[in-house]
Amino acid sequence: MRRFVFTLALAGSFIAMAVYGLSAPSSLSAREKQAVAPRATPAPRPQTPTAVIPESSRPSTVVVIDAGHGGFDRGGIPGQRVPEKTMTLDVAQRLKAVLTAYGYRVVMTRDSDVFVPLGTRVAIANSYRDAIFVCIHFNAARRGSANGIETYFYSSQSLPLASAIHYYVAGGAPTPNRGVRRRGFYVLRKTTIPAVLVECGFLTNATEANFAQSSAYQQKLAEEIGRGIRERSLVASTSAANRLAANNTTVPLQPFIDQTHYRDPDLARSKRGKRSSKSSSKSTSSKRKHSSDSDSEKRSSTRKKKSAPAQTEN
Q: How far apart are the C-alpha atoms of 205 and 203, rounded to whole Å?
A: 5
Residues 208-247 interacting with Zn ion (rule: CB under 5 A): none
By CB under 5 A, is residue 293 in contact with Zn ion? yes
SS3 sequence of 51-62: HHCCHHHCCCCE
By CB under 5 A, is residue 68 in contact with Zn ion? yes
Out of 75, 83, 148, 228, point to the residue binding Zn ion (CB under 5 A): 75
Using the rule CB under 5 A, give the single segment among 137-145, 182-190, 214-222, 282-290 that binds Zn ion.
137-145
By CB under 5 A, is residue 201 in contact with Zn ion? no
Nearer to Zn ion, 134 or 241 (CB): 134
Q: How far is the CB of 23 from Zn ion (least distance, A)?
A: 30
CA distances from 286 to 59, 276, 298 (A): 42, 12, 15
By CB under 5 A, is residue 137 in contact with Zn ion? yes
Out of 60, 292, 301, 302, point to the residue binding Zn ion (CB under 5 A): 292
Nearer to Zn ion, 166 or 240 (CB): 166
Question: Which amino acid appears at position 160 of this protein?
Answer: P
Give the Cβ contact number of residue 256 at 10 Å. Answer: 21
Q: Is 115 exposed, middle or buried (0-12, 13-18, 19+ CB in 10 A)?
A: middle
Question: Which amino acid appears at position 104 of this protein?
Answer: Y
Q: How far is the CB of 150 from Zn ion (least distance, A)?
A: 12
Closest residue to Zn ion: CB criterion: 137
Q: How far apart are the C-alpha atoms of 274 and 104, rounded to whole Å?
A: 37
Binding site residues, Zn ion, CB under 5 A: 68, 75, 137, 292-293
